[in-house]
Chains A and B, each alone.
Chain A
Amino acid sequence: MKNKKLQAVIANTAIGVVSLIAIIPILLIVINAFKTGAESSSMGFALPKTFHFDNFSTVIEKGKLGHSFLNSFAYSGISALFCILFSSMAAFALSRNRSRLNRLLYFFLILGIALPLNYFTLIDVMKWTELMNTRAGIIVLYMVTQIPFSVFILFGFIGGVPKELDEAGVIDGCGPVRLYFSVIFPVLQPAAVTVFILAFLNTWNEFLLPLYYLNSAQKWPMTLAVYNFFGQFQQSWNLVSADIILTILPVLIVYLLGQRFIIAGMTSGSVKG
């Protein structure tokens, strides 16, 4: 019995320490975002003497964060929506009609989870499709990169949706499109929300695609704006910190509100309880 208590103490302490390690870098950024330039030059844990909320307005102005925020929001939101629509339609057809061809197509599609993008040749493709340096182009790329994993998750979920629903729909005279949109898609909602949040977060955090395929600062998403800002203001850690906070705040809010879904999404398809 004593042994058990000791174990509990050790475990509680250990996890406390690890949690602290996990949160310290984030706290560090929060504290320094409110300091003056001089105070923040040492990026320490000392609390600011006075809280400089004006750092945030400075950053929004100098870093052109307003633009970038709207860009990121549009890129992530629109690409995630289309991703869900197309992925779930594909997953639905692939899961219901398990012909040999469809099995092959499913593997072919989810192999995309592993494939590295070829950034060089993709430029040519972007030029042919006239999507190079366009907002539409980046949205399409974001959507495409999320499709394989989304199909994988939705395929697993649709496997658990009873086929009787389809039969009922057919008896009521639905065609495939109506069957999908008015019967199946509503049932998919929990999985769809998960996939949406995951796709949204992944694309919000993405950095390489705009680095390669968007050359005008007007069109940059948050990540690229932050990177550029960091390059310009490396010495002013207070501003860099404020900039970082404004970038990750939306992500953290989405995470805290949606953590149930996110965690379910991370684990679905992988573990069947």
Chain B
Amino acid sequence: MKDKISSPASAGRREAIKAAAALSVVPLLGFPAVLRAQGDAIRLGHLTPRTGFLGQVGEYGFKGATLAVEEANARGGVLGRRIELIAEDSVNPQTAVNKAQKLIERDRVICLIGEISSASGLAIGEQAQRYKIPFFNTGCNSDALRGSNCKRYMFHIEGSNTMYTKTIGTWQLQKNLIKGARWAFLTADYAFGHDLYKVSSRFLEEHGGIILNNDFVPTNTADYSAYILKLRQLKPDFVYLNLAGVDQTTFLKQYREYNLPYELAGGVMDTAPFWAAGLENLSGHWQSLWYHGLTVPASRTFTERFVKKFGHPPENQAWGDYVGVRIVLQTVAETKSTEPRRLIEHLEKGAEFDLLKARKGRFRDWDHQLLQEMYVVKVKDKSRSKDKWDIFDLVETVPDAKGSLELIQPTQAENPCDMPAA
């Protein structure tokens, strides 16, 4: 039985197995979505992961941008021209670069909006600078994008890791939770996580916190039990998560499975992964760039329109891309131009924008970070939750109405940005 006779099909089978190995690791190629209009429309390029571990968050970004474009067209467009959104899936940095080039060269977009992965964001920033086309980052958190890798043509609507850390940190300091507390970290092993670990551990240590351990966790990890066993041995006061996307969901569910008593905190919070985990698996205080439970009237209107169109509330990423499109269109309207240099100059001069928050926002001229309020939120008591989307109570706005918006921003020393000329 063990001696074999070579059959004619054997070479083919061997090839098939090789190809299987190759194909099974090919990342899925996204399907481009295009909302086309005719004539000399103003074209906006939208680029964000719609598949992969950030895909579920990216889908919200796409929906937010779509809604903003539709609303603008319903009002008659800008400068008498229709707005056209050309959207692509940037599943990884390499794809992001290719699609950014395609959007700029072939589709002739006036700017790029979107992205979530900081690794892809870095790559898109390079392209934006090279082609001199503005890129409005709506989802990349890494400080490096605003600091050592800052670009004249890159603007940041998304908060930086430092902003997220300082938002929850301001609250933790108020409650005297940091000094002497022992923290165990889990950190996503890519650009975003490393950057976030750097700023969050620095903040805690500066204020007297003790860092017991940090584990770098590969993205797309399906099983956290081994990490959770380590946490159990460490017996920290807090577990600090620097994870994103699906990884956040998976960890939250499995952390509850083991029912450990150590309170959770984290460097960032996106609502979609928390929704996916389900309210019963959530606990603790978190920080948010925007939440659909915000009572600001403009914010409620946005939420209502979004629910009407898509049948579910927007998450914070939908807000980012919605506001991003509106910022671009307002800038075009105010400068009466789609010329990149003029747009950038206008933004650098401190043009103000309605961010659906209590205070208006503007970009810092030296690092292009949008100055804005953030929020501390608390996981809702299940009995008071209206529906599965209703997972947080707003605790406070940071900075409060009296505080300067610079309070949660990295200082110039923390954020070394040497902006290249336009």
The answer to whether A and B assemble together is no
List residues of chain A with CB under 8 Å of any chain B CB.
none
